[in-house]
Amino acid sequence: MKSDAAENAGLDPSRLPVHAAVIMDGNGRWAQKRMLNRIKGHERGADTVRAVVRASREIGIAYLTLYAFSTENWQRPKSEVKALMTLLKRFLASEREEMIQNNIRLQVLGQTHRLPEDVVQGLAEVTEQTRNNDGLCLCLALSYGGRTEIVHAAQNLARQVRDGRMDPEDITEALFSQNLYTAGIPDPELLIRTSGEYRISNFLLWQIAYSEIFVTPTLWPDFTREEFIGILRDFQKRERRFGQVSEQ
Ligand code: FPP
């Protein structure tokens, strides 16, 4: 069924990215262009989230990470932060059943303790209810910052060295990765950013070392399943060399 959907979309199921990550940008501009409140842009953005999650599941992508709220986003006006948290709660309530039915696992990446209590609780419930699912893993980056994530990993490792549980030389790239929020999740082969900005915005700084990057001018609320599939097709045309030459 999964490979059928991929093949029907003109994709080679054996060469899909295992992990696709998305910087969802442009909700505010989408709303401003229509003389609407920015919140309307986020609402439409949540609909795009549903469409891209569904497409990823059907096509057979194993991990989809969405940058839903950065540590910097806490500095937005209180009303906008509140609206984003409300949207998130609504999303969890409306998608809970679908995630359970469709074998989707929810995982959260970030400083969850900073989120409002009811959001933390909703996330914990859905994470627990879906933890044995082995279809798409939907990773929501919430209150997420790449530098903070790296600092936390360094602190964890430093503590273990201080306590005599390992030597500094034991710290390898693999061990460092295991101390990130994404422990156990493969690095994304594909990073998409919408709304035309050529920036990383503190997203998955360690994990995107070798990711193929696609920037589309489309604002996130206008991003469609078809455009997503088009990017996956382009991804399959790119040659990934990891610093080596073609013949290697
Ligand atoms: C960037 O647009 C988007 C965000 C800061 C939040 C992303 C949130 C959603 C897509 C909706 C809710 C999410 C879930 C998972 C239900 P922006 O506001 O920075 O746009 P701008 O750069 O045009 O102002």
Query: If you take atom 15 of ligand 1, which residue's CA is the nearest one?
Result: 68
pLDDT reported for residue 3: 65
User: Is 25 marked active-site?
Assistant: yes
Distance (angstroms) between ligand 1 centre and the Cα of 240 equals: 30
Please state whether the predicted TM-score (pTM) of the whole model is above 0.85: yes
Residues in contact with ligand 1 (CB, 6 Å cut-off): 24-29, 42, 45-46, 49, 66, 68-69, 73, 87-88, 91, 140, 195, 220
71 Cα: distance to centroid of ligand 1 (angstroms): 13
Determine the residue of 23, 24, 94, 193 to mutate for testing ligand 1's pocket, defined as the one with the most ligand atoms within 8 A of the Cβ atom: 24
What pLDDT was estimated at residue 91?
97
How far is the C-alpha of 173 from the C-alpha of 175, rounded, in Å? Answer: 6
Burial profile 189-201: b = 16 or more Cβ within 10 angstroms, e = fewer: bbbbbbbeeeeee
Q: Whose CA is nearest to atom 11 of ligand 1?
A: 46
Task: Give residue 248's pLDDT.
Answer: 66
Mutate to test the pocket of ligand 1, among 40, 42, 193 (most ligand atoms within 8 A of CB): 42
Span from the CA of 220 to the centroid of ligand 1 (angstroms) = 8
Gyration radius of the chain's alpha carbons: 19
Question: Could you tell me the residue ranges of all domains in the chain?
Answer: 2-236
Partners of 29 in the beta sheet? none
Q: Is 73 a catalytic residue?
A: yes
In whole angstroms, what is the distance from residue 170 CA to residue 176 CA? 10
> How far is the centre of ligand 1, averaged over its atoms, from the C-alpha of 46 (Å)?
8
**Among the atoms of ligand 1, which is closest to the Cα of residue 48?**
10
Backbone angles phi, psi at 245, to 5 degrees: -100, 165
> How far is CA 68 from each of CA 117, 140, 221, rounded to the nearest angstrom?
17, 6, 13
Catalytic residue from among 8, 12, 27, 73: 73
Q: 117-129 vs 78-101: helix axis angle to the nearest 10? A: 20
pLDDT at 242: 72
pLDDT tens, per residue, the chain with 248 residues: 456 999 999 999 999 999 999 999 999 999 999 999 999 999 999 999 999 999 999 999 999 999 999 999 999 999 999 999 999 999 999 999 999 999 999 999 999 999 999 999 999 999 999 999 999 999 999 999 999 999 999 999 999 999 999 999 999 999 999 999 999 999 999 999 999 999 999 999 999 999 999 999 999 999 999 999 999 999 999 876 677 777 66
| Order of all β-strands in the sheet with 63-70 | 105-109, 137-144, 63-70, 19-23, 190-193, 212-215
pLDDT at 244: 78
CA of 85 to the centre of ligand 1 (A): 11
* CATH class of the 2-236 domain in this structure: alpha beta
